[in-house]
Amino acid sequence: MKEPRGIQSIEVGGQLLLALAHHGRPMALKDLAREAGMAPAKAHPYLVSFIKLGLVEQDGGSGPYGLGPLAMQLGLISLQQYDPVRLATPVIEALAQQLGHTVAIAVWGTRGPTIVRVAEGPTPVHISMRHGTVMSLSGTASGRLFAAWRPDDARALGEALPEMATLAAVREAGVATSRDSVVAGVSAAAAPVMDAAGRLVLALTVIGPSAGMDTTPAGPLVACLRGAAQQLSRRLGHAA
């Protein structure tokens, strides 16, 4: 069967977007062009057009190039359409009401653990817990969870990781927690949702004021969160 004809210039320019996505960080023109297999003079007009569309942005108008707001929006939409996310969305709504805290879904994105759904509790916590927020690998419950179960992906980001003992404890407990580590007075717990291959596909994360939140692994809040994550994992074909 004959392959459908495409537009060559789009395919050529797309190599620049692929290079940015693969690298994960802003790049200088010469480095970006080299990664895309073209000369800087050839790459520049493509980048100008991508900037106009919002697919690429340039730091300060003369600095390195990075993915733009439209690219981020497209990436988030793609993540939100992922089946496990749709399956987990009504679960976090119910958990938020049951636990009385904000509950979110985090998935692995190009820049690390990324929040793609948020269900506010009766008394929402007013911190950066919005769609598109990228969570620190070492300072947040969601980040520690992904670092524990997806260490190769985590190391590829070049960010400092928690100690091996901490990651082993997360895997042993089946949950990651943080207390006053990012914002004073705010704590969180995250539980893993696995697919049929045993791969971490998303984290269920509950966040709330430290004074009214028990994040001990044996406590009722964590037990409820862990149970919801395990039930979702079974629905995705995971066998404990």
Average pLDDT, the chain: 87
**Looking at 4-8, 90-94, 203-207, which range is the least confident one?**
4-8
Q: Provide CATH 1.10.10.10 ranges for the chain.
A: 8-67
Phi, psi of 119 (to 5 degrees): -115, 115
Which of 157, 166, 151, 152 lies closest to 134, judged by CA? 157
Q: What is the pLDDT of residue 81?
A: 60
Closest of 159, 131, 124, 132 to residue 143, by C-alpha: 159
Residue 124's pLDDT is 60
Other residues' Cβ atoms within 10 Å of the Cβ of residue 9: 11
How much is the pLDDT for 104? 95
**Six-digit token pair at 99?**
């636990």
Question: What is 8-67's CATH number, 1.20.1630.10, 1.10.510.10, 1.10.10.10, 2.60.120.10?
Answer: 1.10.10.10
pLDDT of residue 213: 87
* 3-state DSSP assignment of residue 211: helix
DSSP-derived secondary structure letter, 230: H
Q: Is the pLDDT of residue 127 over 70?
A: no
In whole angstroms, give the CA distance from residue 237 to residue 173: 21
Which two structure tokens, joined as six digits, stand for 207? 């966040």
- In this structure, are residues 65 and 13 in contact, taking their beta carbons and an 8 Å threshold? no
CA pseudo-torsion sign 161, 72, 20, 197:
positive
pTM exceeds cut of 0.75: no
Residue 232 has pLDDT above 90, yes or no: yes
Closest to 192 in 3D by CA, of 108, 119, 83? 108
C-alpha to C-alpha distance for 115 and 48, rounded to whole angstroms = 30
pLDDT of residue 141: 93
- The per-residue pLDDT for 153 is 87
CATH number of 80-235: 3.30.450.40
| Predicted confidence (pLDDT) per residue in 60-91, tens digit | 877 899 998 898 888 777 666 658 998 899 99
Q: Phi first, then psi: what are they for 40, rounded to 5°?
A: -55, -40
- For the chain, give the percent of residues with pLDDT over 90: 48
Rounded to 10 deg, the angle between the 164-173 and 141-149 helix axes is 90
pLDDT at residue 79, as a whole number: 60
Is the pLDDT assigned to residue 25 strictly greater than 80? yes
Q: Give the whole-angstrom CA distance, residue 238 versus residue 168.
A: 21
Q: Which residues contact 213 (CB under 8 A, 6 or more apart)?
A: 101, 187, 206, 221
What is the average pLDDT across 92-113? 92
Q: Are 53 and 74 in contact (CB under 8 A)?
A: no
Question: Which segments of the chain belong to CATH 3.30.450.40?
Answer: 80-235
Reading phi first (left if > 0) and then psi (alpha if -120 to 50, else beta), residue 24 is in: left
Q: Indicate the pLDDT class of residue 50, thresholds 50, 70 and 90.
A: very high
Mean pLDDT of 44-72: 90
